[in-house]
Chains A and B, each alone.
Chain A
Amino acid sequence: QQPVQSPQAVILREGEDAVINCSSSKALYSVHWYRQKHGEAPVFLMILLKGGEQKGHDKISASFNEKKQQSSLYLTASQLSYSGTYFCGTVHTSGNTPLVFGKGTRLSVIA
């Protein structure tokens, strides 16, 4: 089942913050976040494996709320390089189950 991402698109000025949400109608086992620049391959950002887990890399962090069956990606003090489309990929069980990706959130950071 495809997770639902919101918002679909967002425009930020440099230095502003953003939150991207990824929700599922089914219990989640893990959530994977990727960023894709136009015409390029998606690049892995982070995996969240447990309910309540939070991770961060530079000024990008994420949380995983198992009860709410959702994950959120937080972009703090955005930079021009943050522009791109962000995808969450979800898995509902352990083991070798392929990711199911949301439709993506297009983030544009302007000067």
Chain B
Amino acid sequence: DGGITQSPKYLFRKEGQNVTLSCEQNLNHDAMYWYRQDPGQGLRLIYYSQIVNDFQKGDIAEGYSVSREKKESFPLTVTSAQKNPTAFYLCASSHRARAGGPQETQYFGPGTRLLVL
């Protein structure tokens, strides 16, 4: 079955610790995205990648880092610089838009809930 997987489902972080959230897709999508969701705030873009070995900052990139070494994988690291990391993190992927065409549909993974101890 094609889809997007995120792990773990729940993650606990201690003060000063870096943690990494996994996102894998087997949909053959070029583009991948990370969103943060807080109650009442909608989905806010952290980072996105349109192609392997390239990524761009979104609206709230401070305190986060990513890598895109493989097409299927786009891990997100929440660093100790992120002072308020408690949130629901969603990974998404899509095909790249055709030249002059619209943004393609984004498909979301099940999410990782990050809590601070």
Residue ranges of A at the interface with B (Cβ–Cβ < 8 Å): 2, 29-30, 32, 39-44, 47, 49, 87, 89, 91, 94-104
Contact = CB atoms under 8 A, between A and B. Distances in A.
B9 to A, nearest CB: 10
Contacts of B48: 98
8 contacts: A41-B108, A41-B110, A42-B43, A44-B105, A95-B97, A95-B101, A96-B50, A96-B103
Contact of B90 (A41, A94, A97): A41
Interface in B21-66: 31, 33, 35, 40-45, 48, 50, 58
Contacts of A100: 45
Contacts of B102: 29-30, 47, 49, 91, 94
A104 B110 contact: no
Given A32-B106, A47-B105, A96 B42 contact: no
B110 A40 contact: yes
B97 A104 contact: no
Nearest to B51: A96
Interface string B90-106: 10000011011111011
B85 interface: no
A40 to B, nearest CB: 7
A29 to B, nearest CB: 7
B22 to A, nearest CB: 15
Contacts of B99: 95
B40 A103 contact: yes
A97 B90 CA distance: 18
Contacts of A39: 111
Nearest to B111: A41
Which of A96, A97, A101 has the largest count of B CB atoms less than 10 A from its CB?
A96
Contact of B45 (A95, A96, A98): A98
Given A41-B90, A44-B106, A102-B42, 17 more contacts: A40-B110, A41-B110, A42-B43, A43-B108, A94-B100, A95-B99, A96-B50, A96-B96, A96-B97, A97-B103, A98-B33, A98-B48, A98-B58, A98-B103, A99-B45, A99-B106, A101-B42
